[in-house]
Structure 1
Amino acid sequence: MITISVCMIVRNEEAILARCLDCIKGIADEIIIVDTGSTDQTKEIAKKYTDKIYDFKWIHDFAAARNFSFSKATKDYIYVADADEMIDKENIERFQGLKQVLLPEIEIVQMLYTNQLEFGTTYNYDSEYRPKLYKRIRTFQWVDQIHETVEINPVIYDSDIEIIHKPSENHAGRDFRTFLTLLEKGERLSKKLVNMYAKELFIAGSDKDFIEAKEFFLNVLEDDERTMDEKKDAQCVVCKCCRIQDDIHNLLKNSIKGIADKNPSSEICYELGEYFYEMKDYKEATIWFYNAAYEAGSSLNIHYGGDYPLKRLSDCYRKIGDEEQAKIYEELAKEWSVK
């Protein structure tokens, strides 16, 4: 049977920490809590479950805190937990069964991360596989009889264990502040973080959040070292910023480039629809909302290729006076939203 170190980073989690630790105490062989600056009762609650509690100065870097927590682990595998997660009785039993039978060659176990849309900020799906259990000491082997290389692809197992994501609040504000802090420090965001920033804006961002991000995404568009995928994400953000600020020249400039792409984004079509809707040109708006729903594909938020434009088509036809079409699109929007 394998042994498991549960590694967590926490800060001001007194409202939900015990709920999480009650779930994992039955699967953990040790629990490691790394506190990044709590000012509430988080550490006092943690002491009821473990004596392995460490302080880590917050430097706006989740990876650094995660790496520190991993450095304290001593068991065969490391399970990464967040305070806003829960595991129900059925999945605790599955987890305990996994400990009994996990083969030693398995280096990463993925688990289904569920309930992501309730307070989602970067997720388009309610359930998806996520790596949660990692072999602490990974062995390396040479492969191939000639032109030999070290095998670096991990052996991954997709389990049937479900982890329930149940935060007490939306984390978007915290995330946007972190992005802005990194940019103020002159940090260069990776391709992944460019995508996550854009995605989070379209899923949970306010107009203010978009405007504060505008300069960064304009710079992405001008950066020759950025990939086409990064520029496509940036175009979506910039188009929305320009529509919000009534900057028609740059709205047209960036939306035309986005539409000329062989795989146009629903987000850009939607923003053009919103522009014409605001101008009370409802007939023209229907063209772009239709394109968002049926002719393009969502890049950052799946709703922009589904119920959002369908609802707007209903609004447009109601403004035009075509109640029959308005009801058709209204029903389509409802059907899409419950898929």
Structure 2
Amino acid sequence: MITVSLCMIVKDEEETLPRCLASVGDLVEEVILADTGSGDRTRQVGVELGGKVLDFPWREDFSAARNFAFSQATQDYCLWLDADDVLLPEDRRRFRQLKETLSPDTDVVMLPYHAALDERGRPALTYWRERLLRRQGGFRWEGAVHEAIAPRGKVVWGDAAVTHKKTKPRDPGRNLRILEKVRGQRGWLTPREQFYYGRELLDLGRPREAAQALEGFLLGGQGWEEDRRQACLDLSRAWQSLGEEGRALEALTQALGMGVPRPELCCQLGDWYFRCGQWQGAAFWYQAALDCPEGGFSRPQCRGYYPSLQLCLCWYRLGDLERSRAWNRRAAAFDPESQVCRANEEFFAQALGR
């Protein structure tokens, strides 16, 4: 069976660190904590929970900190988590099974990451991350922020998901400041940095600058495929917020040229036609969202509840109450606790007399 070093970077995580280590600490042989300047009891908590705590002066470079933590590992594989990540009980079982069965010549294990949860604790955004890496594989983190390791060698896809349970908001401008500092020092951004620069601008309510950055990323013709697909969706959102519906549609059609469309793209296309009052066109794309394969940045609601509920609205607008009701029931099957679906069913019962 392989052995694992858990490698983390921490700062002021005395509240979340115990929860994280309680979910994974007994599944690994070693815990490395690179502390980047905690002012609370993070160091003491880490030691009390069996971790090896090392100081690493913060230099506004997440890759540097992660590479330092990896350099201290001594086991076969390096596992990385953030302090507000956890393995839920079923995923603990899956991770233990992964350790017991993984071939020692594996270089990278990709695992699902539930990066956001809805109000009921269900995954709202899931994508794959390079979560377990062979220590002697020479892997290095790249990127001062939104850091990543490009998978290579023998790559295995596992099912032990990591769940992000954020307890406190981060500094909203931190990532943008780091990227602007990198650009100022170096004079340019890598394609991945350019992509996230545009996304940070959009999240901070600066859509025109975001559109410029995202268009620059797409025009460069480089970057990971999933980032390019997502950039089109983000660019469309930027133009929509500026009232540029024509350009919003152009961004979405650009994504259609990148291969089989994903549910998220189909839903955004459906939303565009819906906003324009083109109910048949909207229904076409919402139906497509239910039929096409999921992709890299996966929003589970786009594969079931959301397009079904929107189809309910489309057919209502088109005057077909029976079909509208059928789609409301389909949406309710995806989310039995939906208050919207219950209210709709009451409406249909009165309108249709049954």
> Structure 1 length normalisation: TM-score?
0.68
What is the rounded CA distance, in whole Å, between the counterparts of 2:289 and 2:276 in structure 1? Answer: 18
> Would you say 1:182 and 2:176 are equivalent positions?
no
CA drift of 1:233 comes to 3.4
Q: Is the 8 A contact 1:27 1:96 kept in 2?
A: no
Distance of 2:335 and 2:37 partners within structure 1: 40
CA distance, structure 1, for counterparts of residue 82 and residue 14 of structure 2: 13
Q: Report the Cα distance in structure 1 between the residues aligned to 2:81 and 2:40, rounded to whole angstroms.
A: 20
1:123 aligns with 2:126: yes
Tell me which of 288, 307, 310 is aligned to 2:308: 310
The correspondence of residues 1-339 of structure 1 with structure 2, limited to 5 A, is: 4-50=4-50, 52-83=52-83, 84-86=85-87, 88=89, 91=92, 95=96, 98=99, 105-108=104-107, 110=109, 118=117, 123-124=126-127, 131-132=131-132, 134-137=133-136, 154=153, 162=160, 165=163, 167-169=165-167, 177-178=174-175, 181-183=178-180, 185-186=182-183, 188-191=189-192, 194=195, 208=205, 213-225=210-222, 231-259=228-256, 263-264=260-261, 266-294=263-291, 300-302=297-299, 303-304=301-302, 306-336=304-334
Deviates more, 1:292-301 or 1:73-82: 292-301
| Corresponding residue for residue 147 of structure 1 | none
Q: Deviations over 1:225-268 (max 9, x none)?
A: 56776554332222222222211342344344445666345545
- Deviation track 1:4-59 (CA, whole Å, cap 9, x = no partner) reads 54322112222221233345554555432111233332222113134732222334
Cα–Cα, structure 1 residues 209 and 181, in superposed 2: closer, same or farther, change >3 Å? farther
Q: 1:95 to 1:316 in 2, by over 3 A?
A: closer
By how many angstroms is 1:217 displaced?
A: 0.8
Displacement after TM superposition at 1:175 (Å): 8.2
Alpha-carbon shift at residue 316 of structure 1 (Å): 2.4
> Is contact 2:207-2:242 (8 Å) kept?
no
Give the Å deviation of 1:169. Answer: 3.6
- Unaligned runs of 5+ residues in structure 2 are 139-150, 337-354
* Alignment gaps of 5+ in structure 1: 140-151
2: CA distance between counterparts of 1:110 and 1:82? 17
SS in structure 1 of the partner of residue 205 of structure 2: helix
Give the SS at the match of 1:208: coil
Bigger drift between 304-313 and 208-217 goes to: 208-217
Number of aligned positions between the proteins: 313
Q: Secondary structure at the match of 2:57?
A: coil
Residues 248-297 of structure 1: CA distance to partner in whole angstroms, max 9, x if unpaired? 34234434444566634554553343344334444553344344445797
* CA gap 1:185/1:4 in 2 versus in 1, 3 angstroms: closer
Query: CA separation of 1:70/1:309 partners in 2, compared to 1, >3 Å: closer, same or farther?
Result: same
Distance 1:291 1:169 in 2: 36
- Pair 1:267–1:102, CA change in 2 (3 A): closer
1:31 and 1:52 in contact (8 A); partners too: yes
Judge conservation of contact 2:110–2:157 (CA < 8 Å) in 1: yes
Q: Is the 8 A contact 2:172 2:204 kept in 1?
A: no
SS of residue matched to 1:82: coil
Q: Secondary structure, in 3 states, of the residue corresponding to 2:14?
A: coil
Distance 1:239 1:54, change over 3 A: same
Relative to structure 1, the CA distance from residue 89 to residue 312 in structure 2 (aligned partners, 3 Å threshold; closer, same or farther) is closer
TM-score by length of 2: 0.65
Q: How big is the shift at 1:68?
A: 0.2
Mean CA deviation greater in 244-253 or 71-80: 71-80
Within 1, Cα distance between the matches of 2:213 and 2:65? 26
Q: CA deviation at 1:96?
A: 10
Q: Which amino acid aligns with 2:12?
A: N
Q: Distance in 1 between matches of 2:90 and 2:247?
A: 54
Change (3 A) 1:296 1:193: farther
CA distance in 2, matches of 1:261, 1:107: 30
